[in-house]
């Protein structure tokens, strides 16, 4: 039996269970999966469950009450601290306050725990595996501990991002009721564990005990994603059918089936990320195989909405998007993207392929900060992404990461300056406070980031006893800096911009014609070009560009270097070209980073193109050369 515990989200099923189930069944292993987070949401109440796992809260903190079953004595000494911690966040939500006190939270956790032990047929299974993501450690430990007490012969296996590498060895060392841990991807390890047991040495990625020592079969074996069977969500939908009508309704209204396109990250250098620890090798699924998979899933489950699992789009993203468009099946997708991966025409392809929501790894609007993060992208790439999303009606839910241990005033001031350019008309960020996670570059090299000492986060000290944390069990760390770092009011600044944008949005609607709904856009009239700049309602500006200015402006639709511009406009003197560019920059209709340029206004033609064609031809997916003649 394979289990996914709370606090996974309800609207996106666990993809780990269907993949592992399919792999094992294809090899003759009898397996059942349990999506127990669905039942948890029913016990807590869907609204309360979502309150626990979504900002300002998160799954990692939601799991803390399960320490009641894992560390009985520790819970008694720390529950008042957790009550205070819980109430501090609860006070931000008036609706939840009325019905979901800390005492009810504990009571419903107890009810769910009891239900799981009494209603799941543990006796019928030899091996019981738990998949662990961000907020599933304590709930899994609580159930595993009780199963082992009832029947010591049961084999308990943990796997997932929370038990990878050395961290997995520590978890196995601390909790003697866990028999095995799979570090990293688990398909082949789990199969061999069931089929070749007890031949441990041959099992890749397995962590196990031998003669009082914890051993880890660290391996360079990684599975070919194209050999995996299409995941089966039969058991998810069976369990969903037994939950409350409210949970069923929210899934069928907002839910998506996850479908895997890649594992790992081809960039793999960001200082805050631990993806390289979980998936050291980047692999992509064949595009035709991906298409086959989504069609099969759609037909079997009558689902048209999908969540793409992967750190970014495939490298050959244009072929990928065009093949989805050619299906003409009305599918919609949510995916993560990389800011420097796509050009303006690619976002039109994204929109036509059904990508109405994306999350781009933007992280900052400060070039100085991006270097600390080792993002490999520039501020100009990030602004271009938001511009192209807005033009095509794609919502971009993105974060900026703040409070690095080596944050400087320039990081704050540069971000403020750049956001001022687009705050009225482009999507604004959410703030994400840096959390040093196990396996990240910052975790591995803290001294390089002005960190004197890493120590477990406050919530970890509530969840785990000190003697457990001393063994390195924490996943999230706070830090003490070597040199004092000035604090900047990131939250205050972003909230101020969002309020201003909201007020502006209310003001501009009224009964005005569609054309006046946009704050900053251009209309191309071939022999001249007009730019309407309403970012400051008290000082509305209209720029008329002549033929040459128009051509230079349109050449900057996508990011272009000064060298490329000089080559493209070789018929005019360099001083004239640079003078026009400088004027554009002074008027804030052009953004420059070093010697790279990007025009800032939105393309009115794309903005007002309500019905985008399903199949795009070259006249619509124009290249930069064709743009000059539009």
Distances (CA, A) of 155 to 2, 178, 192, 529, 611: 12, 8, 14, 71, 56
DSSP string, 285-346: --HHHHHHHHHHHHHHHT--EEEEESSS--SSHHHHHHHHHHH-S--EEEEEE-TTS--HHH
How many other CB atoms sit within 10 Å of the CB of residue 628?
A: 17
| Whole-number pLDDT of residue 537 | 83
The pTM for the full model equals: 0.92
The rounded distance, in Å, linking the Cα atoms of 367 and 115 is 52
DSSP string, 209-237: EETTEEEE--------GGGSPPP--HHHH
| Whole-number pLDDT of residue 508 | 54
34-49: per-residue pLDDT in tens?
Answer: 999 999 999 999 999 9
Q: 472: number of CA atoms within 13 Å, CB side?
A: 13
551-586: per-residue pLDDT in tens?
Answer: 999 999 999 999 999 999 999 999 999 999 999 999
Reported as a pLDDT band with limits 50, 70 and 90, residue 507 is low
Q: Where are the alpha helices (DSSP H) in 394-457?
A: 409-422, 441-444
Radius of gyration of the chain, Cα coordinates, nearest whole angstrom: 27
Alpha carbon 617 to its chain's center = 32
Which tokens in the block code for residue 408? 């400087």
| Spatial CB neighbours of 114, under 8 Å, sequence gap ≥ 6 | none
Whether the pLDDT of residue 413 is over 90: the answer is: yes
The rounded distance, in Å, linking the Cα atoms of 5 and 138 is 9
| Whole-number pLDDT of residue 318 | 97
Omega before 335 cis (within 30°)?
no
The rounded distance, in Å, linking the Cα atoms of 156 and 452 is 38
Percentage of the residues of the chain whose pLDDT score is greater than 70: 94
105-149: per-residue pLDDT in tens?
Answer: 999 999 999 999 999 999 999 999 999 988 999 999 999 999 999
The rounded distance, in Å, linking the Cα atoms of 51 and 54 is 6
The rounded distance, in Å, linking the Cα atoms of 530 and 533 is 10
Q: 228: number of CA atoms within 13 Å, CB side?
A: 31
Percentage of the residues of the chain whose pLDDT score is greater than 90: 87
Closest CA to 294 of 356, 230, 354, 233: 230
| Whole-number pLDDT of residue 5 | 98
Alpha carbon 220 to its chain's center = 26
293-317: per-residue pLDDT in tens?
Answer: 999 999 999 999 999 999 999 999 9
| Whole-number pLDDT of residue 505 | 66
149-159: per-residue pLDDT in tens?
Answer: 999 999 999 99
| Whole-number pLDDT of residue 517 | 67
Q: Where are the domains of the chain?
A: 2-216, 256-435, 510-627
| Whole-number pLDDT of residue 626 | 27
Distances (CA, A) of 170 to 72, 136, 167, 528: 21, 17, 5, 67
The rounded distance, in Å, linking the Cα atoms of 610 and 618 is 19
CB 230 within 8 A of CB 296: yes
CB 404 within 8 A of CB 369: yes
Distances (CA, A) of 20 to 31, 129, 230, 308, 399: 9, 11, 10, 18, 32
- Strand 590-593, strand 430-433: pairing: unpaired
Reported as a pLDDT band with limits 50, 70 and 90, residue 610 is very low
The fold for domain 256-435 equals: TIM Barrel (3.20.20)
CATH of 510-627, one of 3.40.720, 3.40.50, 2.115.10, 1.10.10: 1.10.10
Task: Summarize the confidence of residues 489-508 as an average pLDDT.
Answer: 83
Q: How many residues are listed for the chain in this entry? A: 630
In this predicted model, which residue has the larger pLDDT, 623 or 550? 550
Query: How confident is the prediction for the chain on average, in pLDDT?
Result: 92
Greatest CA separation for the chain: 84
Which tokens in the block code for residue 298? 């759609």
| Spatial CB neighbours of 343, under 8 Å, sequence gap ≥ 6 | 388, 558
61-113: per-residue pLDDT in tens?
Answer: 999 999 999 999 999 999 999 999 998 877 677 777 778 999 999 999 999 99
Task: Summarize the confidence of residues 456-469 as an average pLDDT.
Answer: 95
């Amino acid at each position: 039996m394979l289990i996914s515990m709370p606090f996974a989200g309800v609207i996106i099923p666990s993809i780990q269970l269907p993949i592992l189930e399919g792999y094992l069944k294809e090899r003759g292993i009898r397996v059942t999966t349990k999506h127990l987070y669905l039942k948890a949401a029913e016990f807590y109440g869907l609204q309360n469950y979502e309150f626990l796992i979504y900002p300002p809260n998160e799954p990692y903190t939601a799991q803390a009450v399960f320490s009641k079953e894992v560390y009985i004595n520790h819970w008694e000494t720390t529950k008042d601290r957790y009550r205070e911690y819980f109430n501090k966040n609860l006070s931000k939500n008036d609706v939840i306050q009325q019905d979901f006190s800390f005492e009810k939270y504990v009571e419903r956790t107890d009810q769910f725990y009891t239900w799981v032990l009494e209603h799941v047929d543990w006796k019928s299974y030899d091996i019981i595996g738990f998949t662990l993501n961000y907020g599933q450690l304590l709930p899994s430990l609580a159930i595993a501990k009780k199963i082992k007490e009832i029947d010591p012969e049961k084999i308990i296996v943990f796997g997932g991002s929370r038990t990878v590498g050395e961290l997995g060895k520590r978890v196995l060392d601390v909790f003697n009721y866990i028999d095995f841990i799979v570090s990293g991807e688990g398909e082949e390890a789990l199969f061999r564990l069931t089929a070749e047991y007890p031949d441990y040495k041959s099992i890749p990625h397995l962590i196990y005990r031998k003669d009082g020592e914890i051993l880890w079969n660290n391996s360079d074996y990684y599975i070919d994603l194209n050999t995996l069977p299409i995941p089966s969500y039969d058991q998810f939908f069976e369990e969903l059918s037994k939950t409350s009508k409210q949970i069923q309704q929210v899934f069928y209204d907002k839910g998506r089936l996850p479908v895997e396109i890649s594992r790992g990250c081809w960039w793999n250098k960001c200082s805050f990320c631990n993806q390289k620890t979980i998936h050291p090798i980047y692999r992509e699924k064949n595009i035709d195989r991906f298409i086959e998979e989504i069609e099969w899933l759609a037909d079997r489950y009558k689902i048209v909405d999908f969540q793409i699992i992967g750190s970014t789009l495939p490298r050959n993203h244009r072929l990928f998007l065009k093949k989805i468009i050619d299906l003409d099946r009305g599918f919609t997708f949510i995916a993560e993207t990389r800011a420097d991966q796509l050009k303006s025409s690619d976002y039109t392809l994204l929109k036509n392929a059904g990508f109405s929501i994306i999350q781009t790894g933007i992280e900052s609007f400060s070039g100085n900060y991006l270097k600390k993060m080792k993002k490999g992208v520039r501020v100009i790439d990030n602004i271009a992404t938001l511009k192209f999303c807005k033009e095509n009606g794609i919502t971009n839910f993105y974060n900026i990461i703040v409070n690095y241990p080596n944050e400087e005033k320039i990081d704050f001031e540069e971000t403020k300056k750049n956001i001022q350019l687009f705050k009225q008309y482009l999507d604004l960020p959410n703030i994400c406070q840096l959390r040093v996670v196990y396996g990240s570059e910052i975790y591995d090299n803290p001294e390089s980031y002005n960190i004197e000492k890493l120590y477990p986060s406050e919530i970890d000290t509530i969840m785990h006893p000190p003697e457990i944390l001393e063994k390195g069990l924490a996943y999230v760390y706070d830090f003490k800096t070597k040199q004092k770092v000035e604090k900047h009011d990131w939250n205050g600044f972003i909230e101020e911009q969002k309020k201003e944008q909201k007020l502006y949005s209310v003001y501009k609607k009224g009964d005005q014609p569609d054309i006046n709904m946009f704050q900053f856009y251009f209309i191309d009239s071939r022999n001249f070009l007009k730019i309407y700049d309403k970012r400051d309602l008290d000082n509305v500006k209209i720029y008329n560009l002549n033929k040459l200015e128009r051509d230079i402006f349109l050449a900057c639709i996508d990011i272009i270097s000064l060298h490329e511009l000089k080559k493209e406009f070789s018929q005019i003197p360099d001083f004239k070209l640079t003078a026009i560019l400088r004027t554009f920059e002074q008027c804030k209709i052009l953004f420059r980073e070093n010697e790279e340029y990007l025009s800032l206004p939105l393309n009115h033609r794309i903005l007002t193109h309500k019905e985008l064609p399903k199949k795009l031809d070259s006249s619509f997916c124009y290249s930069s050369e064709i743009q000059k003649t539009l």
